Structure 1
Amino acid sequence: MLTINNLSLSIQKVPILNDIELSIEKGQTVGLIGRNGAGKTTLMRAIMGLIELESGEIFYKDTALHQSKAFKHALLGIGYLPEDRRLVPHFTVEENIMVPLWANKNADLKRVKWVYELMPEIGRFADRRALTLSGGQQKLVALARALVVGSDLLLLDEPFEGVAPALAQRLMEVISSLKQEHLSVLISESDYSHSEKVVDKVYSIERGSISTFNHDAVVA
C-alpha cells in the first residue's frame, strides 16, 4: 500500500530525516513512535508532498508520490489528519468535512453519510462553527475530514495530543473500527500510550532515523 525507500530531507539546510525505510500493507495499522522533534510530522508532510525530498522514493500502490503534486493525493484515496487539525474556524463542521470534496469537485456524498454513521456525534454538531468546539471535538472533525477522502490510506499525526481522556478514547474506538474497512493507517504518537493494542507493526523514530521494534513483546 505504502512504501518509502531511502528518504532523506533537510529544512533550511538542517538534516531532518535520514534514509527512512517504511512500509504499510493493505489493512495494516502501523505506529510511528517518537519524541517531539524526532521527525514524525516532517515524515507525514513528506508523504503528503508538502516537503520536497532530497533523495529517496515514496510509492503508494503503483503511484510515485514523490513525483506527484500534493493536491492530487486526496484523489488517490489518501486522507491526512495534521497535528494542528487545520480546520477553517468560521466554517461549520460539515463545511470543514466537505472541503476536500469541494476541492476535488467530488459530489458523491455517500462517504460523508458513512462518516456520520461512524461518528454520530459529528452529525449532532454539524451546523456549529469549528471555532466553538473543544480541542478534542476538533480532532474528531479533522478525522472525519480525512476519512471522506481517505478510502485506502490514512495518515494520522498525533491524533491524541492535547485531547481529554474521554475523547482520546473515542478517537481510538473510531480508529480501531477502521480495521473492518480494510483501511491502511499510519498513526504517530510520542509515547505509545493509546495505539499499542490496535497497531500491527511499530516504527520508532529518533533524530530523523527510523527502526522497527517487536510490537508483540511490547503488548505482552
Structure 2
Amino acid sequence: MLVIDNISLSIQRVPILRDVSLEIETGTTCGLVGRNGAGKTTLMRSIMGILPVEKGRIQFNHMDLHTAKAHERAALGIGYLPEDRRLVPHFTVEENILVSLWATNTSDRSRLKWVYELMPEIGRFADRKAMTLSGGQQKLVALARALVTGSELLLLDEPFEGVAPALAARLMEVIGNLKSEKLTVLVSESDYTHSEKVVDKVYSIERGQITIANKDAA
C-alpha cells in the first residue's frame, strides 16, 4: 500500500529526515512514535506533498507518489489530519468537513453520510461554527474531514495531543473501528499509550531516522 524508501528532507538547509524507510500493508494500522521534534510531522507532510523530498521515493498502490502534487494525493483516497487541526473558524462543522470534497472536485456526499454514521456526535453539531467547539471536538471534526477523502489511506498526526481523556478514548474507539473498513492508517504520537491496542506495527523515529520497527506491538 504505502512504501517509503530512503527519503531525506531538509528545511532551510537543516536536515530533518535522514534516509527514512517504512512500509504499511493494506488494511493495517501502524504507529509512528517519537518525541517532539523527532520528525513525525515532517514525515506526514512529505507523504502529503506539503514538503518536497530531496531524495528517495514514496509509492502508494505502486504509484510514484513523491512526484504528485498535494491535491492529487488527496484525490487518490488519502486523508490527512494535521497536528494543529487546520479548521476554518467561521465555517460550520459540515463546511469544514466538505472542504476536502471541494478541493478534489467531488460531489458525492455518500462518504459524508458514512462519517456521520461512524461519529453521530459530529452530526449533532454539524451546523455549529468550528470556533465554538472544544479542542477535542475540533479533533473529531478534523478526523471526519480526513475520513471523507481518506478512503484508502489515513494519516493522523498527533490526534490525541491536548485532548481530554474522554475524547481521546472516543478518538481511539473510532480509529479502532476503522479496521473493519480495511483502511490503512498511520498514526503518530509521542508514545503509543492510546493506540497500543489497535496498532499492528510500531515504527520509532528519532532525530529524523527510523530506529525500530516493532511488529509485535498489537
TM, length-normalised to structure 1? 0.97
SS of the aligned residue for 1:66 comes to coil
Partner of 1:16: 16
Query: How many percent identity over aligned positions?
Result: 73
Q: What's the offset of the Cα at 1:214?
A: 3.2
Mapped to 2, the partners of 1:82 and 1:42 lie a distance apart of: 11
Mapped to 2, the partners of 1:214 and 1:98 lie a distance apart of: 36
Mapped to 2, the partners of 1:208 and 1:120 lie a distance apart of: 38
1:109 maps onto 2:109 in alignment = yes
Mapped to 2, the partners of 1:52 and 1:74 lie a distance apart of: 16
Mapped to 2, the partners of 1:110 and 1:100 lie a distance apart of: 14
Partner of 2:65: 65
Q: What's the offset of the Cα at 1:4?
A: 0.3
Kindly provide the amino acid, as one letter, of the partner of residue 139 in structure 1.
Answer: K
Partner of 1:82: 82
**Count of residues in Structure 1 that have an aligned counterpart in Structure 2:** 218
Q: What's the offset of the Cα at 1:211?
A: 2.6
Mapped to 1, the partners of 2:67 and 2:214 lie a distance apart of: 33
SS of the aligned residue for 1:22 comes to strand
Q: What's the offset of the Cα at 1:28?
A: 0.5
Q: What's the offset of the Cα at 1:215?
A: 4.8
1:33 maps onto 2:33 in alignment = yes
Q: What's the offset of the Cα at 1:212?
A: 2.6
Mapped to 2, the partners of 1:44 and 1:114 lie a distance apart of: 25
Partner of 1:159: 159
Kindly provide the amino acid, as one letter, of the partner of residue 186 in structure 1.
Answer: L
Q: What's the offset of the Cα at 1:51?
A: 0.6
Mapped to 2, the partners of 1:196 and 1:206 lie a distance apart of: 19
Partner of 1:212: 212
SS of the aligned residue for 2:66 comes to helix
**Conserved in 1, the CA contact under 8 Å of 2:4 and 2:21?**
yes
Mapped to 2, the partners of 1:213 and 1:106 lie a distance apart of: 37
Runs of 5+ unmatched residues, structure 1: none
Kindly provide the amino acid, as one letter, of the partner of residue 60 in structure 1.
Answer: F
Mapped to 2, the partners of 1:100 and 1:176 lie a distance apart of: 23
SS of the aligned residue for 1:107 comes to coil
Kindly provide the amino acid, as one letter, of the partner of residue 9 in structure 2.
Answer: L
SS of the aligned residue for 2:188 comes to strand
**Conserved in 1, the CA contact under 8 Å of 2:29 and 2:201?**
yes
Partner of 1:177: 177
Q: What's the offset of the Cα at 1:104?
A: 1.5
Alignment RMSD, CA only?
0.9
Runs of 5+ unmatched residues, structure 2: none
Alpha-carbon displacement from aligned partner over 1:44-73 (angstroms, at most 9, x marks no partner): 000000111110000001221111011111
Kindly provide the amino acid, as one letter, of the partner of residue 122 in structure 1.
Answer: I
Alpha-carbon distance change, 213 to 68 in structure 1, aligned in 2, over 3 angstroms:
closer
**Conserved in 1, the CA contact under 8 Å of 2:203 and 2:214?**
no
Kindly provide the amino acid, as one letter, of the partner of residue 39 in structure 1.
Answer: G
Alpha-carbon distance change, 68 to 213 in structure 1, aligned in 2, over 3 angstroms:
closer
